[in-house]
Structure 1
């Protein structure tokens, strides 16, 4: 496998991917496949809690999804041995009293690296620096190479929380691009996201703002009417104040002429 420059480290540490297929990356950034579904599940559970002790019982429940083998502790110990051979003997520590700990920092895990970069981007956007925001958010979203926690047997609830954070990051990235005057560029992605999330008012607000910025006032008014009907039909509610204010501004915009 090749080298991932984003994961080359300067401290000799191993890094881990739990977005998409679970992998580890050696200090040079070379991706190393982790063989076996149980082994990948174990690494995923440990990587979700870097530097923290995970009790044996919790690991067994997560790795075997509530159906442990007869000698669960022995089977888990064997898996930990295989993981140490793949990641290095010091990668997983045995903790007195029962449990194991992945010797890693949050930034060594792609999911927490995503979280840090996304938070930095969101702060930059709030502080009026859309260029910095766009850079950080694009770096964060580039880490999203597949389904999050793909190798965790029971991933539904945890994955849903991270998918919501990914959507927040996408929304913020689109807002940053729009603030930089890239309305036409973001419209296709906004249309797709609005179709996938028909009740997400902030997304619809962004799309209508982008249509207005692109000089497509008639389409913006039609998009507002569409979301208004959807909210009424599904929730029995009117659009929120931000959408209503945007609609009022559109009514005072010369049709199909981009504002200065």
Structure 2
């Protein structure tokens, strides 16, 4: 059950149905308990709050009747909800988790917003916080003594959040919109200097210096007349900066419309997957390309982004590589996503920061109607509305090998090349690494040495991220993301080439693209790619010998 105090008192079931609370005194009792946020309230205090100097004939019994009415109303809406009203020696209280009360949700979101460096995420979180408001806090009881202090405090917190939200939008470059929007808001909250400061900067950045100076003079006169004080030193300094046209007030330079890297080699194959991605980009807001390490998720996503209709994204396409050591918020901030933009954000390699990536993606999508996100990850983000495209092994693996090795397919080499590709699971990364070794090993020797693939594919490629320069680096990175329990299951699974029955960890390993599930008439069967099985064997050998893998 959920309770709302950011506006008139309201109660909803978990599925969103309104819960009627009959009789004014029962509603007042509920509001009083909510103002104490789970702390017990003595009966005498409740009686004083509800009836003051017009006490009923039997105050204690009347209070118990109102408590019973409140419990019945809650129970009628959701079985078991009567137990939310708790009696203990110290008094009555409401046993609510914080997420059940909109004011607690508001405070959580505003705290997260202020603790976030990225202006785009700050804007999204504060937008969600402010959407919770439906009017004045405790609107139908705000004039009563028991609710007034909490109502005043929450209303002040809302004004602070409005200032923080305006500043976040200003940081995103939305000065044109803010210059107009904040005129009414500053009139409603004339003493909020944070809103005033943002409004003055927005006016100045929009080329409206005279209006900014006039707005400051109006504020100064109002403060002198109403309160007998001058504007704060910070606001006075801003006024001086506007007068002198200080360069520090200039908006940040506009970012280029895209930072997608130019391709060095054409994408081989993947025609079907590219078509699927283009179709998804035409209709979906969040698409995640999944698959094991080395399968070519990034290459596919970048090719789809490069070849999509540019008219669909008037504000550009931006790549964010989440494998960077910088924080997710700082990396995404560089894209300068704002609520008014229409753009495509490519979030690459989400798996090692999956929780942070999911939180940021959800906040951005909620706050930016024109935003689409194309993510690559070994596991889904797990967000509502997410569409998955699982990348299979490359059907054109032989073509890729021939191109990278600069060979032609002949009757003599066809079987060897096909076997090399098959043993490497048709993984594009492994095939490219193997093709680079043909010059020094030849085809037959390369094939024969694939039993020790992590050694033979440990050289031959420069450039690109370190995680893709060797096959072992790719699998090391994947392995280190697993829990010890997941690692144990993979090692065990590697010893059963015909599959292994599921356990509690198997679903997660399938989601992470590490285990392949085949649905058979006897039920699901689970197995590994050959390279993962070889990696697990390498880990077991290293552990048994007391050395690192």
Give the TM-score band, short-chain normalised: 0.7 to 0.9
Q: Which has the higher contact order (CA 8 A, sep 6+)?
A: 1
Structure 1 partner of 2:24: 37
Distance 1:189 1:74, change over 3 A: farther
Counterpart of 2:450 in structure 1 is: none
The 8 Å contact of residues 16 and 24 in structure 1, kept in 2 or not, is answered as yes
Specify whether residues 189 and 160 from structure 1 end up closer, same or farther in structure 2 by C-alpha distance, changes over 3 A only. farther
The secondary structure found in structure 2 opposite 1:33 is coil
Quote the residue 1:9 is aligned against: none
TM-score norm. by structure 2 comes to 0.41
Structure 2 residue 222 is the aligned partner of structure 1 residue 230? yes
Q: Which moved more, 1:34-43 or 1:61-70?
A: 61-70
Large movers: runs of 4+ above 4 Å: none
2:353: which partner in 1? none
State the SS of the aligned residue for 2:139. Answer: coil
Alignment of 1:1-260 (within 5 A): 14-87=1-74, 88-95=81-88, 97=89, 99-124=91-116, 128-152=117-141, 153-154=144-145, 155-253=147-245
Shift of residue 172, structure 1, vs aligned partner? 0.8
Partners in 2 of 1:131 and 1:65 — Cα distance? 49
CA drift of 1:98 comes to 5.5
Shift, 1:235, TM fit: 4.1
More off after superposition, 53-62 vs 146-155 = 146-155
Q: What secondary structure, in the 3-state scheme, does the structure 2 residue paired with 1:53 have?
A: coil
Cross-structure match for 2:453: none
Aligned-pair CA distance for 1:101: 1.7
* Cα offsets for 1:210-243 (capped at 9, x unmatched): 1012121121122222223333444444432222
The CA distance in 2 between the partners of 1:236 and 1:41, in whole Å, is 39
Cα deviation, residue 158, structure 1: 2.9
**Which segments of 5 or more consecutive residues in structure 2 lack a partner in the other structure?**
75-80, 254-549
Change (3 A) 1:221 1:156: same
Higher relative helix content: 1
Paired residues in the alignment total 240
Query: Over aligned residue pairs, what C-alpha RMSD do you find?
Result: 2.2
Q: Which whole-Å deviations, capped at 9, do the CAs of 1:171-208 have from their partners, x for residues lacking one?
A: 11111111111112223332123223334332221110
Q: Do the aligned residues in 1 keep the contact of 2:35 with 2:150 (CA within 8 Å)?
A: no
Q: Structure 1 199/16 Cα, relative in aligned 2: closer, same or farther at 3 Å?
A: closer
- Provide the TM-score with structure 1 as the length reference: 0.83
